Every structure is written in C-alpha cells, then in structure tokens.
Structure 1
Amino acid sequence: MIDTHAHIYATEFDQDRDQVVQRALEQGIENILLPNIDLDSIQPMLAAEAAYPEVCRSMMGLHPCYVDANVNDTLATIHSWFDKHNFIAVGEIGIDLYWDKTYKAEQEMAFVTQLNWAKEMNLPVVIHTRDSIEETLTLLKGEQDGSLSGVFHCFGGSLEEAKAINDLGFHLGLGGVSTFKNGGMDKVIPHLNLDYVILETDCPYLAPVPHRGKRNEPAYTSLVAQRVADLRELSLEQVDQFTTANARALFKL
C-alpha cells in the first residue's frame, strides 16, 4: 500500500517518527509520499525523506493556506527548489476558502502558476480544495491541455464532483473522511471509477475511525483500504492492488 499524502515531517511526530514509520511498514505501507506546504516545511520534509530514503518521497509546492501578500517571493523560492532536488510532484497546491478569502486572487494565481510548472516539468499535481471545488475545477479546466495529471487529495465530495474530476483525468485521494459515519462517502465510494482511486492519510490530521479525533499516521492507510473494500465488496488485497498500481503510475514510482 502507498500513503500518497502524509505530513510525517510535522512536529507532531518529532518524539516517535521512527516508530511511526515502523508501524506503517508492519501494516504493509511501502511508500509514504510527503507534500510540502510552505517555506518552513521544506527542510523538515527533506530531512524525513533522507532519514527513510527507501520509504519517503517528497513533493514541492505552496499550500493555499500559506499564500499571503508575499506570494510572488514565496513562489520564486519554492520554484528554485526544483533545480536542487528530485521531487515526485508539484504539491500541495490548490484553493482554500474555508478560513479566509482575503487572498483569493493570490491563491488562484499561485494555483495556476504551479499548474504551469507541472506542465513544464511533466510532474503530477496534488490539489487541496476546501470550500472551493467549483473554483478549482474551473481553473483546472482552463489549464488542462491533456498534459496535466494529479489527484484531488482528501476527497469528500459528491459523485458528480468525482466524475467531473475524473473527466479531467484526475485521481481521487481517499482518506479518513471515507470512514466517518456522517461523511456521506458510503453513498459515493460504491460508484467511483476504481482506475482513479488512491489512498492517503493526510496525517497527522483526519484520523480514520476508530482513531477519529486522535493523531493520524501512515499505518492507518490500511483502515481506509478496508473501508473501501467493505463498501465495494472486495478483498483488502484487491484494494491494495489497484490503489498501489494507480499511485505508482501517477507518481512514476
């Protein structure tokens, strides 16, 4: 299995990161993919990748929640990292209108800018959307020339939204929300196109049931896989097989 979205470089894991990675390996999680969020996360992320080179692979991007008035300078620094290191994706990028719409225009500009980097570098993108699926899809449609690929991470939307995302050639990252009783995903997962489904935790956030409300970790990817298996009436092995194949193909692992 592959946890396609994990922030194990976060301070929440500073006391027991080795054990966290060990538990993931014991659960059959072979790769943990690390999205960048801002300038401060770059060094901790690269340190985590260096500590577990067989397991962790890093991405580079600017998360929409860290877009501010200095966005142009920040993007220039983020972009400069692609010349210094081999990243597997442009991410985590996107639009977030949940907390604050002050920098909505800057968020949109940063998103489109990073989509264009992905096209130039032939890399997939990892997209964060919160209260912004419509805006994100509109911008993505405008930029999709057939060369963009990637994933809408932490997908918790409707079947219509899933189809619109798949129609653009994009994957859906299923995580802890898929296990929530009130998440509504029990109505959506049975009908998803499995060619576009990958697994993730988004740890330390959004831990799946029965750990909801506690710190999430990559080992819990298997709980998400089991939920998908139950809802699709498949074996855990089958879900492991197709989600791993999808993730390997998308991220060229």
Structure 2
Amino acid sequence: MTEFKNNTLINCYDIYLDYKQDKKNIKRVVENLTLKVRENEIIAIVGKSGAGKSSLVRILSGLLKPTSGKLFYKGSAIDSPLENIGMVFQNFALLPWLNVLENVLFGTDSLGIPRSQSKSKALEIIKKIGLNGFEDAYVSELSGGMKQCVGFARALMIEPEILFLDEPFSSLDIVTAKTLRDDIMHLWHTGQAKTKTIILVTHNIEEAVNMADRVIILDSNPGRIASEKTIKLEYLRDLECDSTRIVIKDISSTLHAINQ
C-alpha cells in the first residue's frame, strides 16, 4: 500500500495500454501516462478521436486493466472496478421496459436502503434534474435530452465518490446540452450532488472550459498527456467574456499544435 496523501483519490503512474490486433501486431493505445485525481475538482480530458480518452476513463475506473504501470485508489492498488463510482455515457443506456422512476431506481437495491426511502430520494433527484412530472414516462416517450437526464439521475442516485462522464452531451443539440450542463454544474457547486470529483471526456473545448478546474490534453497514436491546463475562472463562467475566450483559445492552440 502506498501512502494516501492529502485529498488524492486516484494516482496512476507510467500507465501503458496495448491491444493485440492479431498474432503479430500490437497497437499501443496509451503510453507513459501519469496522473493524479483529487477530491473536489472537475477534470476534463480532451483530444482528437483515437487519443485514448475513453480507454483512460476505463483504466481510472478500474474497468480496464492497463498492460503495465501502477494505479492506486486512496493508496490501495486498483485491481478490480471501483465500487463507489457513477458513469454516464454518450448513449443513453436506459432500459426501455422501465419508466423514468424505475430506471433511476434500477440497481439501487444493493445499497441496503429501504425501498420507500430510495423512491423518495429518486423522486427528489428527478425533480432536481428537471424531469418533474415525467416519473411514469417510458423511454420511448422521452427526448434525447430527457433520456440523458435519466442517465445522470441514475448515476447521482448512488451518490458516487467519482462521477465519470464519457461525452454525455455530444449527442444532444446545443441548447439541450447547455441546459443539462448548467443543471449538473448547479448541483455540483451547491453541494446537492454528493459526488467528490467529476472526470469528463469531451471533444468540445468550450464544454471543457465551462466545467473543468483542470484540462488534460492528450496527444494521440498512442495516447499520452501532451499538456495540462489549470483553469482559475470563477463559476458561473461566461463563454463569451474575454478572460474565458483567452483560455479557450489557449487550449485550442495547444490541441491544434500537437495534432500537426
């Protein structure tokens, strides 16, 4: 066991990930990646397609075992999927035969909370996430944005220590994506979301700057950290103000330079 220092949740050192394409060829997806994930921060991971963003999220969550390197959660080696985490993906991953409330409650029986208490909590989260009045609606009756709201509500239901977001807004229209981002950020900054840390994968630089305290920029083929930017802008962030545009331009220029 390595020492658990300060508020660090995840430590990864010199991570490599290789995939065997066939009997002779091996593709390196991630190389020489070292990263600390701390409490009370939002990290955005950006990079072009093929940079290993989603693979990195799966490694950090314990869902994917790296080929080599060291990975720790609060000082203990990660050798299986982390338990107290939530995940929201680009696709909605809802069960169409269940209604909104049932989808949010799905999988919560293992938490040991009385059903009546779980239902009350689920209804509260559904209201906070903007789906009040749709508790009995089925997936086929929901818009794309509403479906993703259900995904967020289900993830928040378990009060995860770390919330992993793998491009959850990318399939939504601009207005819906902004509304959902604003709702999530409000819950985060007001303490209504009990999550300690959020890790966001996105290809949208404005989205990263809008949400994150740190932006990790990945180079590709193989994926590795090319740059890390700390964002010190106050919440709420106006994407049109000069200080924010400067940060967006800086990250865009860095990403463009490494992709040359």
TM range (shorter): 0.3 to 0.5
Output the TM-score relative to the length of structure 2.
Answer: 0.37
Output the TM-score relative to the length of structure 1.
Answer: 0.38
| Higher relative contact order, chain-length normalized (CA < 8 Å, sep 6+) | 2
When you count strand as a share of all residues, which structure comes out higher? Answer: 2
When you count helix as a share of all residues, which structure comes out higher? Answer: 1
Between structure 1 and structure 2, the one with the greater Rg is 2
